[in-house]
Amino acid sequence: MVIIILLMKRVFVALLHRKLLNLGIINIVVNPADIPTTDKERKQKEDSRDSRKIAKQLSQKDLTAIYIPEVEIEGDRNLVRYRKTLTKEIARTKHRIKSQLYYFGINIPTQFAGKKHWSKRFTIWLQETKLPTESAKMALDGHLEMAGLLRKKQYSTNKEIRKLSEKKIYKENYNLLLSVPGVGSLTAMIILTETGDITRFKNLDKLCSFIGLVPMTNSTGENEKTGDITVRRNKILRTAIVESSWIAIRNDPALMLAYQKLVKRMLPQKAIIRISKKLTNRILYVLKNKKAYVQAVVK
C-alpha cells in the first residue's frame, strides 16, 4: 500500500482522494500551511526537496490529515453555499439599480429609503419610474428582471434546503440545533454541512479553531502577544455563528448578561466573538449529548 500526500487547493482534491482510495491507495490530504518550511526552502523550491521533506515528516507522524466529508454531505454543502451566492447576487443587483437611479439624479421616495427588503410597492415604483433615455430605461428593466429571477431562484433553493433538513442524516441534529437561541433553520444546515461529523472535534477549542474563533498569538520568552481573531477560518461557518450570536443575545438572558458585562471593557465587535464561543459551546453540547438546549434562568 502506498501513502500519498495531496497538497492542492483546488476543489477536485476530495474527488482525487476518493478515487485513490477506490484504487486501494491509502492517502491523506494535508494543508500546505501546516508543513514546516525553512526560509531556504521557500527561496529555493524544488519538487525533489519538497518530496523528501514531506516523506520525512510523514515517517515521523508530524503531518495531520484534513477531514474529507462524505460525497452526500459535500453535495448538500454546495447547495447551502449556493444559497449564499444567490443572496450576494441579489444584493449586488439591488446596488446596481440604486446606483443607476442616483446617476440620473432620481431620488428614492422617503417611504422606501433605507429599507433592505424591497416591498412589492417599491418594485412597482421602480417599474414605473421614467429615465432620461430609452436605453437607460431598458437597462433598469433588465436589472429589475434579473433581481426577480434571482429571488425566485433563492425561494426555490430555500425549499430544497428545508427538504435537506428532513433527511435521516440531518433530521435529529437539525431539530436539536433549533433549540439553541439564535440558531435558525438556515444556520442549522450551514453548521451540519460545514462541520460534517461533529464527533471529530474532541473539545470546544478544536471546534473554535476550525471555525476561526481563536486569536492570533505571538509568544517569545516572557513576552506573549495576543492579536486579533485568526485569519485562518471556515469563512461561511464563522460568519453564520457570529450573525447568530447577535440574535442570540436578544433571546437568551444568560448570553445577554454576559454580553453586557463584556462591552464594559471591550468593543462590541470583540465582545460578540466571546459570545460566539459561548454559542458554539451550546451547539457542541446539544450535538454530542443529543439533548435539546434549555435556557438558564437569570435572576
For residues 186-212, give the mean pLDDT: 95
44 vs 12: which has the higher pLDDT? 44
The C-alpha atoms of residue 292 and residue 299 are separated, in whole angstroms, by 22
Position 232 pLDDT exceeds 90: no
The C-alpha atoms of residue 233 and residue 261 are separated, in whole angstroms, by 27
The C-alpha atoms of residue 50 and residue 294 are separated, in whole angstroms, by 52
The C-alpha atoms of residue 273 and residue 233 are separated, in whole angstroms, by 13
Give the per-residue pLDDT at 274.
96
Q: Torsions phi, psi of 5, nearest 5?
A: -100, 120
Give the per-residue pLDDT at 45.
82
Confidence class of residue 114 from pLDDT cuts 50, 70 and 90? confident
**pLDDT tens-digit map of 233-264:** 899 999 999 999 999 999 999 999 999 999 99
The C-alpha atoms of residue 223 and residue 59 are separated, in whole angstroms, by 34
The C-alpha atoms of residue 79 and residue 34 are separated, in whole angstroms, by 29
The C-alpha atoms of residue 52 and residue 38 are separated, in whole angstroms, by 14
Q: pTM of the prediction?
A: 0.89
Q: How far is CA 172 from the centre of its chain?
A: 22
Q: Torsions phi, psi of 240, nearest 5?
A: -65, -40
Give the per-residue pLDDT at 205.
95
Confidence class of residue 32 from pLDDT cuts 50, 70 and 90? confident
Give the per-residue pLDDT at 244.
97
Confidence class of residue 7 from pLDDT cuts 50, 70 and 90? low
Give the per-residue pLDDT at 66.
87
DSSP structure string for 241-270:
HHHHHHHHHHH-HHHHHHHHHHTTTS-HHH
For residues 52-59, give the mean pLDDT: 87
**pLDDT tens-digit map of 59-87:** 888 888 889 999 999 999 999 999 999 99
Q: Which grid cell is 46? A: 524544488
